[in-house]
Amino acid sequence: MCGIIGYIGKKHNVTDVLITGLKALEYRGYDSVGIALWNEDMFKLIKSAGKISHLEDKIRKEGNMTSQMGIGHTRWATHGEPNDTNSHPHRVGNVTLVHNGIIENYQELKEELIKKGYHFASDTDTEVIASLLDDIKKNKENYLEILQELTTRLRGSYALGIVFDQDKNHLYALRKDSPLILGIGDKENFIASDIPAIIPYTKQYILLEAGEIARLSEDGIDLFDTSLKPISKKIQQVNWTMEQAEKGGYSHFMLKEIMEEERVLKDTILPFVKDKETLLSKMPDLKKYDQVHIVACGSAMHAGLVGKYLIETYANIPVTVEVASEYRYKKNFYTDHTLVILVSQSGETADTIAALRLAKESKVDTLAIVNVYGSTIARESDQVLYIYAGPEIAVATTKAYTLQVAMLSLVALTMAINHKQMKEEEITMLLEAFQNLPEILGGLLEKQESYFEIAKMLDGSEDVFFLGRGVDYALAMEGSLKLKEISYIHSEAYQAGELKHGTISLIEKNTPVIALVTDEKLAEKTISNIKEVKARGAKVILVTLESLDRDYDFCDQKIVLPVVPPFVQPILVMPPLQLLSFEVARRRGCDIDKPRNLAKSVTVE
């Protein structure tokens, strides 16, 4: 998704601040980039398709300019192809701005403005916003009133950084649905789409809420509500360090983030699992719910599938898991005892936000499981359970997925206790299992070289199948997505018992099949299915438990997991598959941290 950075002040070189910030936002995915700079007498606008390095080349050619304010933007194309003209900042008259989001009524606004004599150089909705502001400004002088009127005209999502040439002492910002934070410095202030962009300069920030307007000067930040009444807001403190947001010596962010899983699992679950009283005091009261909807996208939805299995199996409560982009348009069935759980690493995924708002319109209780503090989904849900993955920079989620599964496991345990579905001794045993889990996971991660060795078996593969039954199928879906999104190998996950109903026709000599058998109750059945594909020439990587490990003749490679109580076993399955996928992608020379076409947070529909 697009990235925004803005700076006002004289303590740092403005161009350096903008470029540093844009590089910190690269993980959001982009295909063009630009900056605008102001000083007392001059204005400079430099834009480029492609990477930030191309923009830096252009800046060098243009020659640096001492400035006191600037805005920058990495664009992930939504309207119009990635090129210099469509990239931001956009300037109309003496209004210049950067935008993250989608204006749903931009076409009608554009037609209205064309009738007023405006011409458009780009295909973007953003240029329409700049033109609209220029038009509003003709009848108003107060910039806050101009921005207030703008908010009444726009429909859709936006985070905006705006500069009016006649007011070079201020940088304006406002948002609705797209993320934007305000960094607070000493004689300098910032706007940014995300925290990593400002960490080198300040760890103090404010979360701008929808409809609020911010006016930044080098001396401070003034905030106004939708009626332009001055407001004050809590100053947040970043609890990340720069090195946490850097690679920490690893070759890729993704590898660093996988190797952090032991620590972040500890950070996330240990505060809950000291004993039953602690768990129940920290978890929401889930007694009243007799049905659960889990709504999310991508990997977060796959985590939801594991949550469904655990809640249904151990709490005896029915659960539906829906992809948010479907949930928001389908008929949903609620009772007074329905709980909708939204799972989202970024807390800014547009479809998941829409699903959350739909549930709230239906007066249904909502619980969010998110990683980013103060994100939209966290702030708008009735209750929130944070995972503590820290910054997840690689576009492909790893540690956040693992923690989403872990947090959903704690929700399932809490529901089982609330609904009296579990004996005291089982509760005690499981809490102890949770306490021991991070160290066991750490032991798995130490075997990374063995998973890297297995990855060689997938050299040259163009199609890979993942098989599993029950919770293993839910895990197979994430294993398959992880492989394909970073290695670009086509892959699909299949219910083991379903393969023979058609798809087995695709199995031929040397077709790689990764088979998950971690549920002892279903092992025999799934092994029969594995033998079916083996008989047709497949190369099989078996993922199983030490307790199920035999000298099988149907697998070519094995990943053997330590045995823990079945309730917590799913948490251990994905990290080895994440490392396997990482190595496959590395061997294929892929851009692992920033896979083509992907964005870290899909803040548009």
When asked if residue 298 is in the footprint of ligand AGP (CB under 6 A), the reply is yes
CA torsion, ordered 112, 115, 120, 126, to nearest 10 deg = -20
Determine which residue in the list 96, 409, 601, 603 makes contact with ligand AGP, applying CB under 6 A: 601
Q: Among residues 126 and 344, whose Cβ is nearest to ligand AGP?
A: 344
**Helix 143-153 × helix 125-136 angle, to 10°:** 130
Q: Among residues 48 and 603, whose Cβ is nearest to ligand AGP?
A: 603
Provide the minimum distance between the beta carbon of 481 and ligand AGP in the complex, in angstroms, as a whole number: 5
Q: Among residues 110 and 399, whose Cβ is nearest to ligand AGP?
A: 399
Q: Among residues 250 and 554, whose Cβ is nearest to ligand AGP?
A: 250
Whole-angstrom distance, CA of residue 390 vs CA of residue 210: 25
Determine which residue in the list 69, 162, 294, 297 makes contact with ligand AGP, applying CB under 6 A: 297
CA-to-CA separations, 240 to 244, 374, 384, 389, in angstroms, rounded: 6, 14, 20, 11
The residue to which tokens 């796959």 are assigned? 302
Whole-angstrom distance, CA of residue 317 vs CA of residue 422: 13
Determine which residue in the list 31, 212, 485, 583 makes contact with ligand AGP, applying CB under 6 A: 485
When asked if residue 261 is in the footprint of ligand AGP (CB under 6 A), the reply is no
Provide the minimum distance between the beta carbon of 479 and ligand AGP in the complex, in angstroms, as a whole number: 12
Whole-angstrom distance, CA of residue 23 vs CA of residue 190: 15
Query: What values do phi and psi take at 491, rounded to 5?
Result: -150, 150
Whole-angstrom distance, CA of residue 483 vs CA of residue 492: 10
Q: Total binding residues for ligand AGP by CB under 6 A?
A: 15
* Beta-carbon contacts of residue 85 (< 8 Å; ≥ 6 apart): 121, 122
- Of residues 529 through 558, those in contact with ligand AGP by CB under 6 A are none
Provide the minimum distance between the beta carbon of 58 and ligand AGP in the complex, in angstroms, as a whole number: 32
When asked if residue 71 is in the footprint of ligand AGP (CB under 6 A), the reply is no
Provide the minimum distance between the beta carbon of 78 and ligand AGP in the complex, in angstroms, as a whole number: 16
Determine which residue in the list 216, 305, 341, 396 makes contact with ligand AGP, applying CB under 6 A: 396
Per-residue DSSP letter, 22: H
Query: Which pair of tokens denotes residue 435?
Result: 């306490």
Whole-angstrom distance, CA of residue 354 vs CA of residue 372: 18
When asked if residue 414 is in the footprint of ligand AGP (CB under 6 A), the reply is no
When asked if residue 481 is in the footprint of ligand AGP (CB under 6 A), the reply is yes
390 Rama class: left (phi>0) / alpha (psi -120 to 50) / beta:
left
Q: Among residues 325 and 418, whose Cβ is nearest to ligand AGP?
A: 325
- Nearest by Cα to 87 from 21, 159, 31, 156: 31
**Residue closest to ligand AGP, measured at CB:** 298
Q: Among residues 18 and 481, whose Cβ is nearest to ligand AGP?
A: 481
How far is Cα of residue 64 from the mean position of the Cα atoms in its chain? 35
Interface map 440-479 toward ligand AGP (x if CB under 6 A):
----------------------------------------
Beta-carbon neighbour count of residue 119 at 10 Å?
9
Query: What values do phi and psi take at 103, rounded to 5?
Result: -90, 110
Beta-carbon neighbour count of residue 13 at 10 Å?
15
Query: Would you name the residues annotated as active-site residues?
Result: 2, 600
Determine which residue in the list 381, 397, 487, 603 makes contact with ligand AGP, applying CB under 6 A: 397
- Contact predicate 353/370, CB 8 Å: no
- Of residues 321 through 360, those in contact with ligand AGP by CB under 6 A are 344-346, 349, 352
- Contact predicate 12/222, CB 8 Å: no
Q: Among residues 148 and 371, whose Cβ is nearest to ligand AGP?
A: 371
When asked if residue 300 is in the footprint of ligand AGP (CB under 6 A), the reply is yes
Determine which residue in the list 33, 321, 602, 604 makes contact with ligand AGP, applying CB under 6 A: 602
Provide the minimum distance between the beta carbon of 485 and ligand AGP in the complex, in angstroms, as a whole number: 5
Binding region for ligand AGP (CB under 6 A): 297-300, 344-346, 349, 352, 396-397, 481, 485, 601-602
